Every structure is written in C-alpha cells, then in structure tokens.
C-alpha cells in the first residue's frame, strides 16, 4: 500500500502501517519533505522484490527526492540496499522511530542500522490519526522470542518487548477522542505480550482491561494469535460482544512432523480442537489463517493434512504463502520441494479458501450485520463487517461510522447490503 501525500510507502504488515504514521508525524513536525521513505517488508523473497520495485519506481516518479529505506528488509540486509544507486540512506527499525535520527538526517552516514537484539524497550509515541484509514492500529509489542525455522523476522525486529498497558490505554483513548471506533492490537507476536512486564499481564487480560476502561471503544480486534498461547483469560474475553468475532490464526501447516520441523508449538489436533471449542463458545466466529505451501520435506501425504486442517477448521479468510527460503534460516538448508510443486499446492489451498469463503458469503444472505464504513466510492459505501468481510451499501454514509445493515446478496469477494434505519 502506498501513501503519496507524505512520501511514505508502507509495505507489509499492520505494524508497519502503525510505524509509518509515527514516521509521518515526526517528518511533518520537522518539515522533512524532500525524501521518499520506503518502510520495507522482508517476510518473503517476493516481499523484498516488491521493496526493490518500489525504490526504483519512487526514484523514477520523483527523481529529485532522496530515498530512505527502512523497515525489516533494511534492518536485516542494510548493505544490500545501500548499494542500490537510487538509495541515499538506510535506517534500522529502531532508528526510524527516533526523532533525533530524523532531525540529523542530512548528517547521517548512509547506513544507520544498529543491532536490533540490543534493544530492550519500545517507543512511547502517541498517535493522533491514521491517514485515509477508518480503523486504528496500535502497537502493543515488538519482536519475537521464538525461532520458527522458516522465519527471518526476529532478525528484523529483535526479541519480544511489550508496551506498558498505561501507554496503550492512553493511545487508544486519544484515538477514540478523535472518533476512531475500532482498534486493532498489533505487533510481531502479540500472544507473547506482557511476559517481560511486571506481573506478566497477558494479551487477553490486556484486551479485557481495554474494553472495561474505554467503554467508548466500540470494536476491538486482534491482528493474529498463536493457539499455543491460549489460556483461561481468552475464554472470558471471547464472549464480550465488542471483541470482534474474527480470529486470524498462525497455523502454517497441518502435518505434525512439518509443524515440528517448523518449530511450531501446536499440533494439528490442537488447532482443530481450539477452533471447535471457540465455535461452541461463540457461534458467530469466523477464522482466518496463515498456511505455508511446500515447506521443505513436505510430501503429498503431508500436504493432505493441511487440506484437512483447512476443511475441519472451516478457515474462510485464508492467507496462503508458497514457501520462500530465506537465507540464513534453518529451513533454507533443508531438502527443498520443487517450485512447480509448491506453486501447485499453493493454488490448491487458495482454491479451497475461495470455496470456503463462497459458502460463508452465501450463508450471510438475510442476516443482519454491523459494518465499519471505510470509504465511499461512486455513491456506494464500502466497509468491513465484524467478520472482517467486505460489505457494500448503495448509499453515501460517513467514513468511520458503524452502521447496522441487512445482507441482500453475496458476490465473489463481498456482500451487498441495505441500511437498517
């Protein structure tokens, strides 16, 4: 996604969206307007190709502007990006959040990237708004203490560092005051939240506390959770109607041996049992998930376990990643699955996800849902339901408002609805 108004191009995760807004506020305050800033992603090789493409495109569109590359790709491999002729400055993930770095930007060395594993705290920025967005994204933690064998992100983000609850509460109260009605709690591994804080408050305790202390907050979402970290506090939170009935799960695979080789901490059956128990406790829930196709050593029989997982958990919002070997990760050294097989398996998973989504959409016809309006285009209001499904309403409504509507029809990737007066 690109934001041209402030010359910041934010790529990848929701945490980058949050951080890009902080960078925007800092650079606006300092009146820095002669740079194009690329806030990069490194989760896959394709993500890094996108970074390089955006760098070259930015220089082509605005040749007079200097280019700063920051984010995970810059943190992990600063020399690689500093060698690109289009790039003037490479900033690390911690450095990009520091006003003093931006204040001295003209005097910096080309590479300003320090060891991310030496960082033990988070920044305490207070955000006022998210440009062009109806929902707010709030960082609650940084980094990850786990080392999944396919993942390079800890080397871009460092170890787990939690934001104290008081700061999170202040951030959200500030956004609610500015008419934001929905907040998404985000980070790198948010189910590890609080393990480094006094008293070790967990993610689900934090979520319940936010809903109790900020009654004006209409809707709360979690960006992604690990079912290996579920505890009793989650089940108390689940039935709060302001906690959104859409959970995105970091599942990755359905075969237990593959999960072990990934260093995941759950089994296939634990994931299935979790989804079943959640539905028994809250029948309106829907699930999304990340699934990797073609992890090293994955056989056809092992892949069938991922297919079965998607079916048994009835995953509708499916994010499929063809395996992408990241250099220096253990998975890159394992026996690789042929690329054509990876591509075929990814297509199979995506088709299954499309089938599940189509069934889900058709079931919504005649139901009543609540929608957060995100944009108005050609006299049609477009937003997301509480299930995080796109809904179109054929009339002009206020961006950022939450409305009740009746679903009248289902289409390939959205629902049509009429407003309930």
Average pLDDT of 169-180? 95
User: Does the pLDDT value for residue 7 go beyond 90?
Assistant: no
Separation of alpha carbons 64 and 306, rounded Å: 49
What pLDDT is recorded for position 1?
38
pLDDT score at 83: 96
pLDDT digits (tens, 9 = 90+) for 192-241: 999 999 999 999 999 999 999 999 999 999 999 999 999 999 999 999 99
Report pLDDT for 4.
Answer: 41
Strand partners, 138: 185
- Is-contact 249 225, C-beta < 8 A? yes
**pLDDT range class, residue 139, cuts 50, 70, 90:** very high
Assigned superfamily of 2-114: Methylthiotransferase, N-terminal domain (3.40.50.12160)
What does CATH list as the number for 136-363? 3.80.30.20
Mean pLDDT over the full length of the chain: 94
Domain positions in the chain are: 2-114, 136-363, 368-419
**Residues of the chain with pLDDT > 90: what percent?**
92
Residues 294 and 255: beta-carbon distance below 8 Å:
no
Task: Specify the fold of 368-419.
Answer: OB fold (Dihydrolipoamide Acetyltransferase, E2P) (2.40.50)
Q: How confident is the model at residue 2 (pLDDT cuts 50, 70, 90)?
A: very low
CA 218 – CA 176 distance, rounded (Å)? 9
| Residue 108, pLDDT score | 67
């Amino acid at each position: 996604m690109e934001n041209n108004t402030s010359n910041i191009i934010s790529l990848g995760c929701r945490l980058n969206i949050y951080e890009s807004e902080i960078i925007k506020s800092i650079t606006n305050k300092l009146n820095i307007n002669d740079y194009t800033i690329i806030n990069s992603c490194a989760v896959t090789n394709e993500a890094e190709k996108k970074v390089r493409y955006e760098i070259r495109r930015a220089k082509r569109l605005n040749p007079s502007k200097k280019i700063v590359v920051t984010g995970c790709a810059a943190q992990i491999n600063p020399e690689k990006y500093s060698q690109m002729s289009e790039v003037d400055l490479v900033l690390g993930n911690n450095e990009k959040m520091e006003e003093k770095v931006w204040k001295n930007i003209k005097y910096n060395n080309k590479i300003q990237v320090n060891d991310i594993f030496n960082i033990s705290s988070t920044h305490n920025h207070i955000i006022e708004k998210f440009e062009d967005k109806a929902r707010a994204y709030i960082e609650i933690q940084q980094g990850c203490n786990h080392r999944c064998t396919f993942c390079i992100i800890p080397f871009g983000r460092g170890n787990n560092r939690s934001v104290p609850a008081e700061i999170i509460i202040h951030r959200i109260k500030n956004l609610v005051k500015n008419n934001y009605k929905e907040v998404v709690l985000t980070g790198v591994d948010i189910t590890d939240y609080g393990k480094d804080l006094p008293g070790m408050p967990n993610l689900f305790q934090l979520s319940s506390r936010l809903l109790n202390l900020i009654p004006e907050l209409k809707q709360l979402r979690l960006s992604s959770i690990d079912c290996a970290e579920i505890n009793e506090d989650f089940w108390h939170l689940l039935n709060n109607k302001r906690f959104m009935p859409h959970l995105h799960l970091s599942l990755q695979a359905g075969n237990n041996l593959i999960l072990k080789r990934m260093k995941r901490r759950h089994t296939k059956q634990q994931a299935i049992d979790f989804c079943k128990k959640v539905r028994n406790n809250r029948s309106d829930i829907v699930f999304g998930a990340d699934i990797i196709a073609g992890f090293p050593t994955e056989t056809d029989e092992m892949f069938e376990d991922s297919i079965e997982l998607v079916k048994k958990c009835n995953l509708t919002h499916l994010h499929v990643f063809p395996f992408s070997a990241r250099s220096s990760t253990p998975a890159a050294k394992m026996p690789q699955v042929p690329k054509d097989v990876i591509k075929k398996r990814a297509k199979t998973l995506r088709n299954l996800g499309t089938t599940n989504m189509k069934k889900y959409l058709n079931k919504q016809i005649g139901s009543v849902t609540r929608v957060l309006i995100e944009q108005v285009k050609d006299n049609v209001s477009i937003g997301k339901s509480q299930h995080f499904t796109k809904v179109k309403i054929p009339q002009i409504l206020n961006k950022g408002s939450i409305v009740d509507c009746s679903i009248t029809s289902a289409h390939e990737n959205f629902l049509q609805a009429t407003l309930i007066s």
